[in-house]
Structure formats: C-alpha cells, structure tokens
Amino acid sequence: GAGVSQSPSNKVTEKGKDVELRCDPISGHTALYWYRQRLGQGLEFLIYFQGNSAPDKSGLPSDRFSAERTGESVSTLTIQRTQQEDSAVYLCASSLATGGEQYFGPGTRLTVT
C-alpha cells in the first residue's frame, strides 16, 4: 500500500501570492494532520481532521491559512498572501484514530521570495 503523499515537493512563490499544498493520506486513515517545520526547528501543529467531525484549527497561525478535507481522503492547505515567514516545510500525516501513530508524508518545501 502507498504511504502518505504530498505535492508539490517544492514550491517557490513570490510574496503576496496564494499557494495550495496537497496531501493524499493512507487509504482508510480517518485522521489527518498538517504541521509546519521551520528550518532547524520542531514541528508546529496547524490543523487536525478526524472523520466527519469539525476540524481542530487551533494551530493555524493566522486567517491567511486554511485547510479543507474531502471526506476521509485528500486534504489541501491554502496559504493566502504568502509572507517570507511562511517559508518552511509543510508536513502532512495520517493515522487510524484508535492507534494514534502517525504516518508522515515527505513534506512540501515552501520558499517565499
């Protein structure tokens, strides 16, 4: 079975542009997470989806950030009006709700120039 996939792997954008990052979780995983990892730092929780429940958006840093998930499949993280401080690796992970173990994708490296 395929693991978590993310696209694009790298994205360079100009300040002020919008970007959309995609995550394909492992089939059957009801939980999906987005994290941000700035260079040399730990993982910063952004948002969490669990089945059909309302997502936990408590980690989104500003209203420029939003995410959607279609059922228990693909998720997209959108950053509007990008700023240089948004430059980071954005990681997606999925898990079975009962296990809690998360399986991570390879990440999208976002560079805002």
Nearer to another protein, 20 or 56 (CB): 56
Q: Under the rule (CB under 8 A), what is the footprint of another protein?
A: 31, 33, 35, 41-45, 48, 50, 53, 56, 58, 91, 93, 95, 97-98, 100-102, 104-107
Q: At its nearest, how many Å lie between another protein and the CB of residue 33?
A: 7
Q: At its nearest, how many Å lie between another protein and the CB of residue 103?
A: 8
Q: At its nearest, how many Å lie between another protein and the CB of residue 24?
A: 14
Q: What angle do CA 98, 90, 101 make, to 5 degrees?
A: 15
Nearer to another protein, 48 or 65 (CB): 48
Nearer to another protein, 16 or 99 (CB): 99
How many Å apart are CA 46 and CA 34, to the nearest integer? 5
How many Å apart are CA 12 and CA 44, to the nearest integer? 21
**Would the CA dihedral through 102, 57, 76, 31 be positive or negative?**
positive
Distance, C-alpha 28 to centroid of its chain? 18
